[in-house]
Structure 1
């Protein structure tokens, strides 16, 4: 059994967005759920929309799930 979820959405940065890692590998900086889903899709996750609220798969650290801080940069 795993000790923690393999995907981590880290706390929002000071400028907005949240770093996303999978088993310690950085996938990118997500500014919304669409970014998160795309990173997971590119990492090979089937149906990423179905797992983003599953704590067995995704751990949301520092802040509320689906809150990405400041708006996406222009």
Structure 2
């Protein structure tokens, strides 16, 4: 993965947030744990939920890392 920001899009009707990196959709996240898993699969093996919440490489759209509608 390059230094291009990861984008976490606003929640859709189902409460999921699309996650994209380097122009590729990594998946639909329903919690910050999902974002961590997608980034691990993309090669960031040691990333944690805390890292995701504060990383300058992640652009949060439609709410930050605490914005997850629906049950967690």
Q: Same fold (TM over 0.5)?
A: yes
Task: Give the alignment's TM-score, normalised by structure 1.
Answer: 0.76
* Matches of 2:16 and 2:66, distance apart in 1: 10
Q: Which residue of 2 aligns with 1:29?
A: 28
Higher alpha-carbon deviation: 10-19 or 41-50: 41-50
Structure 2 unaligned residues grouped into runs of 5+: none
Task: Give the alignment's TM-score, normalised by structure 2.
Answer: 0.78
Post-superposition Cα deviations, 1:22-68, rounded to whole Å, max 9, x if no partner, equal 0110000001111111000000013221531212x111011232312
After the TM superposition, list the runs of 4 or more consecutive aligned residues in structure 1 that deviate by more than 6 angstroms.
Answer: none
Bigger fraction of residues in helix: 2
Q: Which residue of 1 aligns with 2:14?
A: 15
* Matches of 1:7 and 1:47, distance apart in 2: 16
Q: For the pair shown, which has the larger CA radius of gyration, 1 or 2? A: 1
Equivalent residue pairs, number:
68
Structure 1 unaligned residues grouped into runs of 5+: none
RMSD (CA atoms): 2.0
